[in-house]
């Protein structure tokens, strides 16, 4: 069993592309399954040092992204081989089937297709924030897993605004998913990825490409001069999804939506959750400045342990408040005893508390004369109740 870097064992090959192949591997140090991408034997010895640089650039582009819809990169290295070094990338092992395998069996349910494209758009939003353009979005580079879609293969990714190394060389990518401006020598931009995403969404909804042609050259000409074919009628598809699809396929790069807007709109259409980078949001135009107190409170260090806080004791110089001497408590006149009652004061009678004389005279509202209760009635009459006033 072949081992790379004295650590990664190659178990079996699980994928093969034009320039590379992917193996299921085993990390002997961390004891976990991984995916190992190495150059295909047909091109392994033809690129020389340029091949090492190409694989290293792919590893760095993908390693900058930490997103649930992007296959993570664990390591990069070179393995000595007779006469040359073989570069390799160690990645997260993604279990599932590619979107191309699913589409080969027929169109997807539109809800599944919209959700997959929403997650791909979220992955592109994370890449664009890091100034990385994928340049090869297509069904074969999207893996469907139980946890969602995963974008693979940043092999021809480029920095935003980067031109092709050789302007006379063929345009890198898959012709059906290459934006028209790329054939005019325009640099890599996020809008080119959005054209590919629009083609992917159209393919998921209809099961075919937006343009029909027998050759790659005819397909490129159709993209430049003809409008995409209308989508078939699909019950339940929101009109905003259809509008978004054709907006992504617009020949004008400036008319295409951003990846973040596309991800949010598609996710809302199917009530799905996507993760988009917050760094792409514009700041508020009128953000209030923090006060000096808030800045000090936000930057103050937090101690690991706080001493026990004793309960505060009453200050010796502070006396407990007493009733204000100027305010006299109301006195309630005793009601006359009913026949047969004793002369014990009624419980409602509150004696006036004695207090020190005050310079402020208390004002008393004259009380109404008590009214004798009818014989046998122990409840004060209305006149008696109204006549009891508080003193101010």
Q: Would you name the residues annotated as active-site residues? A: 136
Distance of alpha carbon 162 from alpha carbon 188, whole angstroms? 6
Which residue's structure tokens are 């988009």?
276
Task: Report strand pairing: 84-91 vs 73-81.
Answer: antiparallel
Distance of alpha carbon 338 from alpha carbon 360, whole angstroms? 39
Instruction: Pull the structure tokens for residue 249.
Output: 């396929």
The answer to whether the beta carbons of residues 198 and 249 sit under 8 Å apart is: yes
Phi-psi region of 261 (alpha: psi -120 to 50; beta: other; left: phi over 0): alpha
The answer to whether the beta carbons of residues 144 and 94 sit under 8 Å apart is: no
The answer to whether the beta carbons of residues 241 and 250 sit under 8 Å apart is: no
Distance set, CA 299 to CA 268, 304, 382 (Å): 38, 15, 67
DSSP-derived secondary structure for 61-109: HHHT---TTBPPEEEEEEEEETTEEEEEEEE----SEEHHHHHTT-PPP
Distance of alpha carbon 201 from alpha carbon 103, whole angstroms? 12
Alpha helices in 143-258 (DSSP H): 190-206, 216-225, 239-248
Which residue's structure tokens are 């997260």?
92
3-state percent helix, strand, coil for the chain, nearest multiple of 5: 30, 15, 55
Instruction: Pull the structure tokens for residue 38.
Output: 């190495």
Instruction: Pull the structure tokens for residue 44.
Output: 């392994």
Query: What b-and-e string marks burial along 147-158, b requiring 16 or more CB atoms within 10 Å of the CB?
Result: ebbbbbbbbbbb
């Amino acid at each position: 069993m072949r081992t790379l870097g004295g650590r990664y064992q190659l178990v079996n090959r699980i994928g093969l592309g034009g320039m590379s192949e992917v193996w299921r591997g085993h990390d002997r140090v961390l004891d976990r399954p991984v995916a190992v991408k190495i150059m295909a034997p047909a091109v392994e010895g033809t690129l020389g040092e340029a091949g090492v640089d190409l694989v290293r650039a792919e590893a760095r582009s993908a390693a900058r992204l930490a997103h649930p819809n992007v296959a993570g990169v664990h390591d990069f290295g070179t393995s000595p081989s007779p006469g040359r070094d073989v570069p390799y990338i160690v990645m997260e092992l993604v279990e599932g089937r590619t979107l191309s395998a699913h589409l080969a069996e027929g169109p997807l349910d539109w809800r599944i297709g919209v959700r997959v494209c929403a997650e791909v758009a979220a992955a592109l939003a994370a890449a664009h924030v890091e100034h990385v353009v994928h340049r090869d979005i297509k069904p074969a580079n999207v893996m469907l897993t139980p946890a969602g879609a995963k974008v693979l293969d940043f092999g021809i990714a480029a920095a935003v605004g980067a031109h092709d190394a050789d302007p006379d060389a063929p345009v890198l990518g898959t012709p059906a998913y290459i934006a028209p401006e790329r054939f005019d020598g325009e640099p890599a931009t996020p809008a080119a990825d959005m054209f590919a995403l629009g083609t992917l969404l159209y393919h998921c909804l209809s099961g075919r490409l937006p343009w029909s042609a027998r050759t790659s050259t005819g397909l490129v000409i159709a993209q430049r001069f003809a409008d995409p074919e209308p989508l078939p009628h699909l019950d339940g598809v929101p009109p905003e999804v259809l509008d978004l699809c054709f907006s992504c396929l617009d020949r004008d790069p400036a008319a295409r939506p951003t990846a973040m807007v596309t991800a949010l709109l598609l996710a809302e259409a199917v009530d799905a959750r996507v993760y988009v980078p917050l760094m792409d949001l514009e700041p508020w135009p009128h953000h209030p400045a923090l006060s000096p107190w808030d800045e000090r409170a936000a930057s103050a260090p937090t101690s690991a342990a706080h001493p026990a806080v004793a309960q505060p004791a009453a200050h010796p110089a502070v006396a407990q408040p007493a009733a204000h001497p100027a305010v006299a408590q109301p006195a309630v006149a005793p009601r006359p005893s009913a026949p047969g009652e004793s002369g014990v004061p009624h419980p409602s009678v509150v004696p006036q508390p004695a207090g020190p004389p005050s310079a402020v005279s208390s004002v008393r509202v004259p009380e109404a004369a008590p009214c004798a209760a009818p014989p046998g009635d122990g409840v004060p009459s209305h006149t008696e109740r109204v006549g009891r006033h508080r003193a101010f």
